[in-house]
Chains A and B, each alone.
Chain A
Amino acid sequence: MANYLVTSTRLAGFKPGDVVTSTDLDGVNIEALIEGGHISTQTAKKSAKTKDTNEKE
């Protein structure tokens, strides 16, 4: 099951930044959505964990 990042405001039921699965898009032509700029195969990456360098030992 592939995940896609919603990249436009026009995808019905979703907003930009949402992650949808191929199951969510059942019956929808995914290639056309990618081509149209509505979704991307680049899913949102988790922000890297930061370490407080000023932390006292």
Chain B
Amino acid sequence: MATSVYLSNPNVTINSVDLRDQCTSATLNYVYEQLETTAFGDTARKYGASSVTSLQNNSVEIELYQSYAGSETEATIYGLVGIQTNIVLAPATGAASATNPIYTLTGAYLESHTPINASLGELSTITLTFTGGVLTKAVA
């Protein structure tokens, strides 16, 4: 039977700071760059091989409600621009398991941040894109 995933309380930490209650969206892209290995004699394009390892090119996009209160969104994020940090994402809080894999992106880089993103009558939100870093998955 097919299953669907309904995430209501995933774990989201940025630089070891739990921002779950400010987060409305998180997308983790796990990417290995595509290297072409096609050679003479091949009849179709080939990419990668068991002996060819390419670079990871991961990214995370996170949407947060903005808050200027102490230890909240702005205070946590502002100092991370232009440096590397760690991002941890999991479907739920609690220990890592097969049904709750914890993904850690180590050394992710935050290039930009929008401290002010305000529209009349709307809650202010920010969208952060972290790029690079090594992704690991823990299931135990």
Contact = CB atoms under 8 A, between A and B. Distances in A.
B86 to A, nearest CB: 5
B75 A12 contact: no
Nearest to B11: A12
A7 B71 CA distance: 9
Contact of A8 (B15, B71, B78, B85): B71
A38 B19 CA distance: 12
Binding site of B, secondary structure by majority: helix, strand, loop or mixed? mixed
B17 interface: yes
Q: Give the bracket for the number of chain B residues in contact with chain A.
A: 20 to 34
Contacts, number: 58
Given A37-B70, A38-B71, A38-B76, A32 B85 contact: yes
Interface of B: 13, 15-19, 70-71, 75-76, 78-80, 83-86, 88, 106-107
16 contacts: A8-B17, A10-B19, A11-B16, A11-B17, A12-B16, A12-B17, A27-B106, A29-B15, A29-B85, A32-B15, A32-B79, A32-B85, A35-B75, A35-B78, A36-B79, A37-B71
